[in-house]
């Protein structure tokens, strides 16, 4: 719990601390150090959100809590960072819900294809009572869920052909996140999915190990996937929330007023992050086309065909989850649309 015990430096961590302007004095003056790592790069709204979190926390604690930010999987992929939080060797990460489902299976509901009709409904459900129930389930895993941020609606890219309908998925090798529901959903559409950590993805696309992948336009653009992918379709098949996680054993060592600061900072930085993400999403698609990608629009009918192909998978997974919770989520989605 001492600041020293909390600082296990490796080369990359030191380099990055310097790049952050996290000079030794600031770190030495601090009572607590939060090492916050994410998978996406420092251009992404996810990182801007993390910087906002740092700004708020350091200002409101007068530097008593020092936040070091790491991007691009410098501290590992989503799973590795969650495990580090459990062990107490890292304090914060912001993974997608898909890898979280490997720790708390109920989280897989948020990755049901075509669950949320739009991001406003997602906000209302996630930020409401039901969303909190899921965050509470993380406690048993030594993880403290402080807020939902936004990865976004996922869209398909590939290097082989235009994908306009469910038939076009046939035979495509698609990297998915490490989540069984994602794998089964893509199999149901006739694709050949293969699970992989995000940190391996660019190389896999470049070397042709996989034909395609799916992520929001922001990621496709900001991670430079257009350099190794020719086709993009607005499948919008899954809405990926991010969850702002803190190591629970670390959270529990914080005095109550500091707990309040990090609670609020995670929420406030999340609002900012969602705004940035949404502002730029359409622009990112334009930029992908400018970079030479062929854009294929998915019609409502084609999207409905995709939904029908996946429906049995959704029903199978839904049956395995806590039924009360499943119904609460469906009800909350309905209520949010009234
Ligand atoms: C994925 C996710 C990721 C994020 C991030 C790298 O495709 O969408 O972009 O979870 O941590 O793996």
pLDDT in tens, the chain (338 residues): 333 333 334 445 555 555 555 556 677 789 999 999 999 999 999 999 999 999 999 999 999 999 999 999 999 999 999 999 999 999 999 999 999 999 999 999 999 999 999 999 999 999 999 999 999 999 999 999 999 999 999 999 999 999 999 999 999 999 999 999 999 999 999 999 999 999 999 999 999 999 999 999 999 999 999 999 999 999 999 999 999 999 999 999 999 999 999 999 999 999 999 999 999 888 999 999 999 999 999 999 999 999 999 999 999 999 999 999 999 999 999 999 99
Q: Residue 23's pLDDT is what?
A: 55
Phi and psi torsions of 5, nearest 5°: -60, -25
Q: Which atom of ligand 1 is nearest to the CA of 73?
A: 6
Using DSSP, state whether 150 is helix, strand or coil: strand
Q: Which fold has domain 11-150+241-281?
A: D-Maltodextrin-Binding Protein; domain 2 (3.40.190)
Rounded CA-CA distance 34/247 in Å is 10
Query: If you measure from the C-alpha of residue 162 to the centroid of ligand 1, how many angstroms do you get, rounded to a whole number?
Result: 24
| Ligand 1 pocket, residue 100 CB under 6 Å | no
Query: If you measure from the C-alpha of residue 55 to the centroid of ligand 1, how many angstroms do you get, rounded to a whole number?
Result: 24
Task: Copy the structure tokens of residue 231.
Answer: 């086709």
Residue closest via CA to ligand 1's atom 11 equals 39
Residue closest via CA to ligand 1's atom 8 equals 215
Query: If you measure from the C-alpha of residue 151 to the centroid of ligand 1, how many angstroms do you get, rounded to a whole number?
Result: 8
Query: If you measure from the C-alpha of residue 40 to the centroid of ligand 1, how many angstroms do you get, rounded to a whole number?
Result: 7
| Ligand 1 pocket, residue 179 CB under 6 Å | no
Q: Residue 27's pLDDT is what?
A: 75
Q: Residue 10's pLDDT is what?
A: 45
Query: If you measure from the C-alpha of residue 73 to the centroid of ligand 1, how many angstroms do you get, rounded to a whole number?
Result: 10
Q: Which helix (H) or strand (E) holds 146?
A: strand 143-153
Q: Which atom of ligand 1 is nearest to the CA of 154?
A: 8
Residue closest via CA to ligand 1's atom 3 equals 198
Query: If you measure from the C-alpha of residue 233 to the centroid of ligand 1, how many angstroms do you get, rounded to a whole number?
Result: 18
Helix axes 256-290 and 119-127, enclosed angle (nearest 10):
170
Rounded CA-CA distance 182/269 in Å is 28
| Ligand 1 pocket, residue 189 CB under 6 Å | no
Strand 294-296: give its sheet, edge to edge. 192-195, 173-176, 212-215, 155-158, 231-233, 294-296
User: 155-238+282-336: CATH homologous superfamily?
Assistant: Bacterial extracellular solute-binding protein, family 7 (3.40.190.170)
Angle at 207 between CA 204 and CA 211, to 5 degrees: 65
Domain with CATH 3.40.190.170 in the chain: 11-150+241-281, 155-238+282-336
Q: What's the complex ipTM?
A: 0.98
| Ligand 1 pocket, residue 40 CB under 6 Å | yes
| Ligand 1 pocket, residue 80 CB under 6 Å | no
Rounded CA-CA distance 14/65 in Å is 18
Contacts of the segment 297-304: beta carbons below 8 A, 24+ positions apart: 297/164, 297/233, 297/234, 298/164, 298/165, 298/233, 298/234, 298/235, 298/236, 299/164, 302/164, 302/165, 302/166, 303/114, 303/235, 303/236, 303/237
Q: Residue 20's pLDDT is what?
A: 53
| Ligand 1 pocket, residue 90 CB under 6 Å | no
């Amino acid at each position: 719990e001492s600041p020293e015990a909390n600082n296990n430096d490796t080369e990359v961590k030191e380099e990055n601390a310097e790049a952050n302007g996290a000079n030794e004095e600031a770190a030495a003056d601090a009572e607590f150090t939060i090492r916050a790592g994410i998978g996406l790069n420092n251009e992404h709204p996810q990182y801007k959100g993390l910087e906002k979190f740092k700004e708020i926390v350091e200002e409101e604690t007068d530097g008593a809590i020092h936040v070091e930010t790491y991007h691009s999987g410098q501290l590992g992929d989503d799973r590795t960072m969650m495990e580090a939080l459990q062990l107490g060797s890292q304090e914060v990460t912001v993974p997608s819900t898909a890898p979280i489902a490997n720790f708390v299976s109920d989280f897989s509901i948020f990755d049901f294809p075509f669950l949320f009709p739009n991001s406003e409904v997602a906000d209302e459900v996630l930020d409401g009572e039901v969303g909190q129930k899921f965050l509470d389930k993380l406690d048993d895993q030594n993880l403290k869920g402080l807020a939902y941020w936004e990865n976004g609606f996922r869209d398909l890219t590939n290097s082989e052909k235009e994908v306009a309908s469910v038939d076009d998925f046939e035979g495509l090798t698609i990297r998915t996140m490490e989540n069984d529901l994602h794998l089964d959903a893509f199999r149901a559409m006739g694709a050949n999915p293969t699970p992989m950590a995000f940190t391996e993805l660019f190389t896999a696309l470049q070397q042709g190990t996989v034909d395609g992948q799916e992520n929001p336009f922001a990621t496709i653009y900001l991670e430079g996937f257009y350099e190794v992918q020719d086709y993009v379709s607005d499948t919008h098949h899954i809405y990926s929330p991010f969850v702002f996680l803190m190591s629970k054993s670390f959270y529990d060592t914080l005095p109550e007023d500091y707990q309040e600061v990090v609670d609020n900072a995670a929420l406030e930085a999340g609002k900012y992050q969602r705004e940035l993400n949404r502002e730029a999403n359409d622009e990112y698609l334009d930029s992908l086309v400018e970079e030479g990608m062929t854009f294929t629009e998915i019609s409502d009918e084609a999207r409905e065909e995709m939904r029908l192909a996946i429906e049995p998978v959704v029903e199978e997974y839904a049956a395995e989850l806590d039924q009360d919770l499943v119904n609460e989520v469906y009800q909350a989605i309905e209520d949010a649309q009234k």
